Structure 1
Amino acid sequence: MTGSLAGRRILVTGGGSGIGRAVVLAYLAAGAIVTVLDRSAEHAAALPGPDDRLQVVAGDATDPAALAAAVDAASGAAGLDHLTCGVGVFDYYASLRELDAAQVEDAALESWRINVLSVFLAVQAAYSELARARGSVTLTLSESAFHPVGGGVLYGSAKWALRGAVDHLSVDLAPEVRVNGVAPGGTTGTRFSGLDALGQHQTADRVPGRDERIAAGTRLAVTPRPEDHAGAYVYLADPVAARVTTGVVINSDGGRRL
């Protein structure tokens, strides 16, 4: 198999749907050997059929045991070349003005656990294998990590935390491991789940008028698709093309920030 990531061993958390799934497919197209950690059997079933370069590990990305199993499955004799963290949960623009104290506490803890703690646990679990391969990490942020758009304070503050994590981890893990991020803007076709603590059981793709609002808010007047972000991930995972790239966040938001 040829490609910019030929033979590279990659672990993707939350790679069963949406942007994560598009990234998995792009990694495979670039020749990588990919392991996906996903807690949804439905999402796992939506990935391509049996392939000697793709395996799925069922488990929760906030569970250290599941992460350890996924790292073990993904790593080869020389270690793990790359980790992509794609797990996330949305807050459907929840306002603190409309919640009581118990809801705020429960929702904030859930948002932080899934959006932020999952990343810290994944990096901790994978570090030794990444260091052996002089590998890299890509975190999934959001336009909400730069502007108060694309979500409420619970979601946005978690993504701001990941923006800081890119900087801090790129220093903490240097020189063995590069750390970067991608900050997608609003994207069509994503089955982004809401906070259980707030009873948000619908997915983002079912919000009426969402695609039109996204396009109207971008300079390119487009609504991004999951695959539109995948190229940024492929570049950052490439140890040759991105050899000196660390501590960087690529904004794939259609010019929303402008």
Structure 2
Amino acid sequence: MTGWLDGYVALITGGGSGIGRAVADRFVAEGAAVTIVGRGLNRLEEVVAASADPSRMHAVEADVRDSDQLHAAVAETVSRFGRLDTLVANAGIWDYQRQLTRLTAKELSDTFDEVFAINVKGYLLAAEAAWPELVNSRGSIVMTLSNASFHVNGGGPVYTASKHACLGLMRELAYELAPKVRVNGVACGGMNTDLRGPESLALQDRSLAVSFAKRPVDAPPPQIPLHDSSTDPRDFTGSYVLLASREQSGPITGQAISVDGGIGVRGFATSAGGDHL
């Protein structure tokens, strides 16, 4: 029995943890060969070693803010696996909902530069490095978006602006790269991952997973309808498989699938409010 991605080759940025790792594992399970890209080769190699089929997963250390490193990752992928069918632009950081009124001017400026360089520029540079190979394969790009690409309070102003920018970037590239390359997105809700924060706010060592673990046992569930199924990154991977598969989603481009646990039908909370002035 073959999977939906049998014979495909994918490159996933931010593939060493969180949703990137979950997508990489799912792609391998669906028959694909995968290159995972990230900072920290040791961690990436641990992911490869733990894969269901290490022969079909390859680790490349690269910073998504460095175009030369991304071009090298694409070239290494093609050299090793023979082609590239799918780019999953995924590497990102979160601002831990730091609001405008809680940031100094310098913190705001530095955080903006860092978050946009990774969350937006990193996607654009990855697409620039990959598009010629994707044209050759009639492949696709799948971007990790967010509930913050559509709704407020999924982060602070910097993160929310970055994810709105990613939505626009996805749509623009879908227009520019048609008809040979499809470009879509998966707008994820909150999940239990090792998502880190900006170095500019000294949050680079803070893990979202640790925050999940510290929640009191009797704490109320998140104010979203499907809260019980919105924490494990593996729950979000099916949409990536669908969008990567040309056989299953060939006519689809410029679209974002919201996998947010139902935030879109009710919002983040049942009552108005928040941490206002």
Q: Same fold (TM over 0.5)?
A: yes
Pairwise CA RMSD: 2.0
Question: Structure 1 residue 32: deviation in Å?
Answer: 0.3
1:179 to 2:183 alignment:
yes
Q: Which has the larger radius of gyration?
A: 2
1:20 to 2:20 alignment:
yes
Alignment of 1:3-82 (within 5 A): 3-49=3-49, 51-75=54-78, 79-82=83-86
Q: Percent identity?
A: 37
Question: Structure 1 residue 213: deviation in Å?
Answer: 7.5
SS at match of 1:137: strand
Question: Structure 1 residue 215: deviation in Å?
Answer: 4.0
SS at match of 1:31: coil
Could you tell me which runs of 5 or more consecutive residues in structure 1 were left unpaired when the two chains were aligned: none
Q: Deviations over 1:27-71 (max 9, x none)?
A: 000000111111123531431427221100012111112101110
Provide the residue aligned with 2:150 in structure 1. 146
SS at match of 1:56: strand
1:232 to 2:235 alignment:
no
Provide the residue aligned with 2:254 in structure 1. 247
Distance 1:34 1:78, change over 3 A: closer
Amino acid at match of 1:43: R
Could you tell me which runs of 5 or more consecutive residues in structure 2 were left unpaired when the two chains were aligned: 266-277
Amino acid at match of 1:26: R
Provide the residue aligned with 1:218 in structure 2. 224
Provide the residue aligned with 1:162 in structure 2. 166
Alignment of 1:200-219 (within 5 A): 200=203, 201-207=205-211, 208-209=214-215, 215-219=221-225
- Report the number of matched residues: 257
Query: Is the 2:11–2:86 Cα contact (8 Å) retained in structure 1?
Result: yes
Query: Is the 1:111–1:195 Cα contact (8 Å) retained in structure 2?
Result: yes
**CA distance, structure 2, for counterparts of residue 98 and residue 84 of structure 1:** 33
Select between 47-56 and 209-218 the one with higher mean Cα deviation: 209-218
Amino acid at match of 1:250: I
TM-score, reference length from structure 2: 0.88
Distance 1:17 1:227, change over 3 A: same
Question: Structure 1 residue 4: deviation in Å?
Answer: 1.2
